């Protein structure tokens, strides 16, 4: 009888602990869902006052605010987040010069975080040059307090110099060449770590119809690069995207995008959905 009572006690204790763990998990999940719903409802409620995503000053100055929510984060054929992310951005454009900041924050703790600072200059109506400082943190043991550390072999920054061509509506070709000129883009050669200057080329073509926008794109790295995780020249980014805007109010619409892409070098495929809240 005593052994039976012990078994009964431990059985009830196990059931109670399991029940408490399930309730705790459900409560945490409900908190996240509630948080996302609050964000969406808040943005929708103030959408009519956002002046169609930007405000312009009297001297041609422009401030653009954006917030996207995506099912994951894929960049140049590389999976950075498999869980949903929120991606806010702000851009200040006094004429041909633009400067701003952008971030990607996952809903799941302990995953990849990114914070970027960028600047660009419009050389011609179709050609621009830009510099982006990518800063990553928050993944496993990556130090979240290393933003001002630019030391070689220690920094989590990458400086990306870009030349971008965007064609006209009659010939909507897009082309970009991007070279990492500083930061953590290193490669081991001749017995020591050296800058690799990893370079990425991308071509794209897109158009607008009455119902949706579409684009196709292809990205290529012509060299060995630890930054992109390849041992030789390779195509790492092929795909297409579709965007359709849903009218919510006379002054506010909600663009929904789907992007399907493959990385032939990694033999991987991605499908990412995103919503541009504003």
Enter the pTM of the model.
0.78
C-alpha–C-alpha distance, residues 151 and 174, integer Å: 35
Q: What is the pLDDT of residues 15-64, one digit of tens each?
A: 455 445 544 444 444 444 444 444 444 444 444 444 444 555 556 789 99
Q: How much of the chain exceeds pLDDT 90, in percent?
A: 60
Lowest mean pLDDT among 121-135, 138-152, 218-232: 138-152
8 A C-beta contact, residue 101 and residue 116: yes
C-alpha–C-alpha distance, residues 90 and 23, integer Å: 39
Average model confidence (pLDDT) for the chain?
83
8 A C-beta contact, residue 194 and residue 186: yes
Mean pLDDT score, 230-237: 96
Q: How far is CA 111 from CA 81, 144, 157, 198, 276, in A?
A: 7, 12, 17, 25, 22
* 5 φ/ψ angles, rounded to the nearest 5 degrees: -65, -40
Question: Comparing 268 with 17, which gets the higher pLDDT?
Answer: 268
pLDDT at residue number 152 = 81
pLDDT at residue number 206 = 95
**Domain spans, the chain:** 1-49, 52-212+223-231
Q: What is the pLDDT of residues 183-227, one digit of tens each?
A: 999 998 888 889 999 999 999 999 998 889 999 999 999 999 999
116-127 burial, b if ≥16 CB within 10 A, otherwise e?
Answer: bebebebeeeee
Q: What is the pLDDT of residues 107-129, one digit of tens each?
A: 988 789 999 999 999 999 999 99
pLDDT at residue number 51 = 42
């Amino acid at each position: 009888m005593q052994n039976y009572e012990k078994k009964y006690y431990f059985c009830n204790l196990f059931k109670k602990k399991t029940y408490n763990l399930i309730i705790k998990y459900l409560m945490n999940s409900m908190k996240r869902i509630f948080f996302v719903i609050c964000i969406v409802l808040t943005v929708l409620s103030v959408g009519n006052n956002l002046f169609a995503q930007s405000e312009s000053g009297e001297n041609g100055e422009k401030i653009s605010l954006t917030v996207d929510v995506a099912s994951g984060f894929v960049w140049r054929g590389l999976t950075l987040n498999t869980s949903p992310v929120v991606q806010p951005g702000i851009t200040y454009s006094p004429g041909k010069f633009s400067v701003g900041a952008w971030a990607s924050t996952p809903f799941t703790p302990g995953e990849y975080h990114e914070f970027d600072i960028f600047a660009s200059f419009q050389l011609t109506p179709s050609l621009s040059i830009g510099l982006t400082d990518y800063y990553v943190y928050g993944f496993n043991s990556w130090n979240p307090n290393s933003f001002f550390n630019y030391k070689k072999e220690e920094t989590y920054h990458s400086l990306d110099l870009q030349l971008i061509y965007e064609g006209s509506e009659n010939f909507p070709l897009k082309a970009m060449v991007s070279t990492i000129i500083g930061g953590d883009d290193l490669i081991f050669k001749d017995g020591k770590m050296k800058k690799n200057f990893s370079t990425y080329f991308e071509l794209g073509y897109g158009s607008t119809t009455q119902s949706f926008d579409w684009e196709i794109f292809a990205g290529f790295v012509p060299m060995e690069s630890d930054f992109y995780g390849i041992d030789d020249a390779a195509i790492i980014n092929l795909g297409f995207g579709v965007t359709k805007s849903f009218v919510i109010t006379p002054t506010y619409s909600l663009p929904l995008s789907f992007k399907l892409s493959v990385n032939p070098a990694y033999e991987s495929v991605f499908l990412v959905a995103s919503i541009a809240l504003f």
